[in-house]
């Protein structure tokens, strides 16, 4: 079976994608530097799939190491590249670290991917590239805006780098997936999100408040022009998102791509407000959540949800889980943690 490299394969989205790849019979090799993940995730993955996989602890910032790795593994048929730093606030404080972690590494990996016999590449992009879009839902042809943070900029620049590399090398085949807001965990509660320190994202903050690790959730603003005044996002179950990677990869492996550089939105198409997410948590957990309304968070867009037609029609993929399904899985994961 085809050998697939997953960089950052022990991270939140990476680990769920590895499970879905193994479920489809792919032979997976993970590289991860463990900078924001735990080696125990490997056990979680194998407990779910019962299949063995290869793992190498490797720092993609080291060009020689990357070269040596690919030399050893020239039979790789596709690369799914998750490895990157993702904390928006930290990226504002340490921009150069973010450019090194997210851009240098991308370049080194692409340089090796283009030498392979099969140069199939899937990139973790983000709806953050749209900024505050004019029109909802957001389709792939919505303009890409100037990034609000160095983190966001690494996603925008990352896509540009891939575009330029694909232009001069027809053998390269790339798909960038622009994720909306991934939440939830595997239904077995053996893998999930592992935020380090105080979570910046909504759902882990909610579940940590639910188990008593945090006293209270702050809802960042209720005076937006939305249905209940709080911001709207498109929350997608991480397992649905993981499956999108597998179908995107299959599209490349089967030469079904329409150009050698494609972009897809990966979301549910449904916008939910912060208060609706809280209500969902309260429904599935049977708990009241302690929260208060505070001021707006700088840099937040009012609303972002996906037009999913392109992904539905071209990839033949559709998010299957509801917000409640995703919330319940996040809650189970939090409880077992």
Catalytic residues: 151
Q: Which stretch binds ligand UD1 (CB under 6 A): 45-53, 195-203, 237-245, 309-317?
A: 195-203
Distance in Å, CB of 141 to ligand UD1, minimum: 20
Coil, helix or strand for 59?
Answer: coil
Nearer to ligand UD1, 299 or 316 (CB): 299
The partner residues of 76 in beta bridges, in order of sequence, read 3
Tell me: does residue 233 bind ligand UD1 (CB under 6 A): yes
Backbone angles phi, psi at 87, to 5 degrees: -90, 115
Q: Which stretch binds ligand UD1 (CB under 6 A): 24-32, 135-143, 281-289, 294-302?
A: 294-302
Residues 6+ away with beta carbon under 8 Å from 2: 26, 27, 77, 78, 253
Q: Name which position in 139, 195, 220, 282 contacts ligand UD1 (CB under 6 A).
A: 220
Number of residues forming the site for ligand UD1 (CB under 6 A): 20
The partner residues of 126 in beta bridges, in order of sequence, read 179
In angstroms, the Cα distances linking 27 to 51, 188, 233, 333 are: 9, 22, 34, 27
Tell me: does residue 297 bind ligand UD1 (CB under 6 A): yes
Q: Which stretch binds ligand UD1 (CB under 6 A): 46-54, 72-80, 200-208, 250-258?
A: 200-208
Q: Name which position in 79, 175, 202, 330 contacts ligand UD1 (CB under 6 A).
A: 202
Nearer to ligand UD1, 140 or 300 (CB): 300
Burial 18-37 (b: 16+ CB within 10 A, else e): bbbbbeeebbbbbbbbeebb
Tell me: does residue 200 bind ligand UD1 (CB under 6 A): yes
Radius of gyration of the chain (CA): 19
**Separation between Cα atoms, residue 158 and residue 248, nearest integer Å:** 18
Tell me: does residue 299 bind ligand UD1 (CB under 6 A): yes
Q: Which stretch binds ligand UD1 (CB under 6 A): 57-65, 208-216, 218-226, 245-253?
A: 218-226
Nearer to ligand UD1, 68 or 198 (CB): 198
Closest to 6 in 3D by CA, of 62, 56, 68: 56
Tell me: does residue 36 bind ligand UD1 (CB under 6 A): no
Tell me: does residue 125 bind ligand UD1 (CB under 6 A): no
Structure-token pair, residue 272: 């939910």
Nearer to ligand UD1, 8 or 152 (CB): 152
Residue that the structure tokens 């780098």 belong to: 161
Tell me: does residue 139 bind ligand UD1 (CB under 6 A): no
Binders of ligand UD1 among residues 78 to 97 (CB under 6 A) are 86, 88
**Separation between Cα atoms, residue 158 and residue 121, nearest integer Å:** 12
């Amino acid at each position: 079976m085809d050998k697939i490299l997953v960089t950052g394969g022990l991270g939140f989205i990476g680990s769920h994608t590895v499970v879905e790849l193994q479920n489809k019979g792919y032979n997976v090799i993970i590289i991860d530097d463990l900078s924001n993940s735990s080696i125990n995730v490997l056990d979680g993955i194998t407990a779910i799939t019962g299949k063995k996989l290869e793992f190498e602890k490797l720092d993609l910032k080291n060009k020689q190491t990357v070269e040596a790795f690919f030399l050893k593994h020239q039979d790789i048929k596709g690369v799914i590249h998750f490895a990157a730093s993702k904390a928006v606030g930290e990226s504002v404080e340490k921009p150069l670290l973010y450019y090194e972690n997210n851009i240098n590494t991308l370049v080194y990996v692409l340089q090796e991917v283009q030498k392979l016999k099969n140069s199939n590449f899937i990139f973790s992009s983000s709806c953050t590239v749209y900024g505050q879009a004019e029109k909802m839902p957001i389709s792939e042809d919505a303009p890409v805006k100037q990034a609000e943070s160095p983190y966001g900029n690494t996603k925008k620049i990352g896509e540009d780098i891939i575009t330029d590399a694909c232009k001069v090398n027809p053998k390269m085949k790339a798909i960038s997936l622009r994720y909306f807001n991934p939440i939830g965990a595997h239904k077995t509660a053996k893998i999930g999100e592992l935020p380090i320190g105080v979570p910046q994202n909504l759902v882990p903050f909610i579940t940590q408040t639910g188990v008593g690790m945090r006293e209270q959730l702050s809802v960042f603003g209720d005076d937006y022009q939305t249905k209940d005044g709080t911001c709207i996002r498109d929350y997608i179950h991480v397992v649905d998102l993981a499956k999108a990677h597998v179908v995107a990869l299959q599209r490349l492996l089967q030469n079904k791509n329409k150009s050698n550089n494609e972009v897809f939105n990966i979301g549910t198409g449904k916008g939910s407000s912060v208060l609706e997410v809280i209500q969902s948590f309260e429904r599935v957990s049977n708990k009241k959540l302690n929260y208060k309304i505070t001021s707006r968070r700088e840099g937040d867009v009012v609303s972002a949800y996906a037009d999913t037609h392109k992904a539905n029609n071209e990839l033949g993929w559709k998010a299957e889980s509801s917000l409640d399904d995703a919330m319940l899985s996040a809650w189970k994961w939090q409880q077992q943690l």
